[in-house]
Amino acid sequence: MTTSAVRLDPYNYDFHEDPYPYYQRLRDEAPLYRNDELGFWALSRHADVLKGFRNSTTLSNKFGVSLDPASRGPHASKTMSFLAMDDPDHLRLRTLVSKGFTPRRIRELEPRVTEIANQHLDSMLEAAASGATVDYVDEFAGKLPMDVISELMGVPNADRAQVRAWADAVMHREDGVTDVPDSAIEASLNLIVYYQEMVKQRRTALTDDLTSALLEAEIDGDRLTDDEIIGFMFLMVIAGNETTTKLLANAAFWGHRNPDQLGPVFDDHERIPLWVEETLRYDTSSQILARTVVGELELYDTVLPDGDVVLLLPGSAHRDERVFQNPDDFVIGREIGSKLMSFGSGAHFCLGAHLARMEARVALAELFKRIRGYEVDEDNAVRVHSSNVRGFAHLPISVKVS
């Protein structure tokens, strides 16, 4: 193990503002880093993070993927579904869920995603037309992903704002508090109770939504239990909602910061997927994921004992100059391919990757059809404070409407 004066604290607000100088020092000075106070190891180099994602035997998911003590432990799968399981349980549940959550269902959802995007754009751009600053997160990026998930699941329109508010509260962290606050626990319980009622209703009368499809999913007589369905629905809220909201806002922020890169996207909307991919690399929503050592693991001449927590840092891996040329430059269209780990890698590769990419592509394409340009009010932008995701709680922008 390398010793270093650098300190990694995933709860520190200064780290949230800009983690990349910390990551640079970790990669150079402490590729295997130890924090005794918070009780974790961390891997920051691209090769090590990739190996970590692909080693689902020795680096286990069964206690969850968050450092937060309240989210860790043998019951993590209740709210994180198969993300907090190892095979064979992981494979069974993922295979059953995949019967309902199909690529075809995602493709067929695209016209509705376009409609929902335009509904939110209508109100945002109406406010922006008068020259007023609008909050891109409040009005658009924070609404669309949760509404799309609600659309998928069959949450009625009238309930979507409340469901969105609970989902936001689940993720918020107070400065210096190294655990899940009471408000987030309360919001989690509210969501679970709401989804329990939804599942109960579908048991009585099936509809054509994902909730019903999950109830009907079956392989050789094996079906999902209500708890398993609710766990997956909760996972969608956490993994599918927050990360896409952050992706949309991060794309807008770094596009604004790099007008030379964004200019060609205004002229050629076919470049929007490339903008999305570079955002996923340059400033990924999912920065930190936890694993638990099973047996023991030797890294950098150090033996990591059974039960220790290892943090994988894809946010750092994507800035590794051993893999990417000039990694601190935002370059739309650079070669990324399979080097991207925003959606993980290996057995736990994100089931919702197609949905996230489709949502981001549609959202940004619809926005760019309707505006000629935008400016971010950086002084009033507010970052989200979370131990694992990175993005904005508020991103005020002024818009030139087409």
pLDDT in tens, 243-259: 999 999 999 999 999 99
- Domain layout of the chain by residue ranges: 13-401
Query: What is the structure's pLDDT at 178?
Result: 62
**1.10.630.10, 3.40.50.1370, 1.10.760.10, 1.10.490.10: which CATH number matches 13-401?**
1.10.630.10
Query: What is the structure's pLDDT at 242?
Result: 85
Q: Check residue 221 and give left, alpha or beta (phi > 0: left; psi -120 to 50: alpha).
A: left
Of 151, 156, 183, which is closest to residue 167 (Cα–Cα)? 183
Distances (CA, A) of 89 to 55, 65, 82, 306, 346: 16, 16, 8, 21, 16
Q: What is the mean pLDDT of residues 122-135?
A: 93
Tell me the pTM: 0.94
H or E segment and range at residue 364: helix 353-370
Residue with more model confidence, 62 or 78: 62
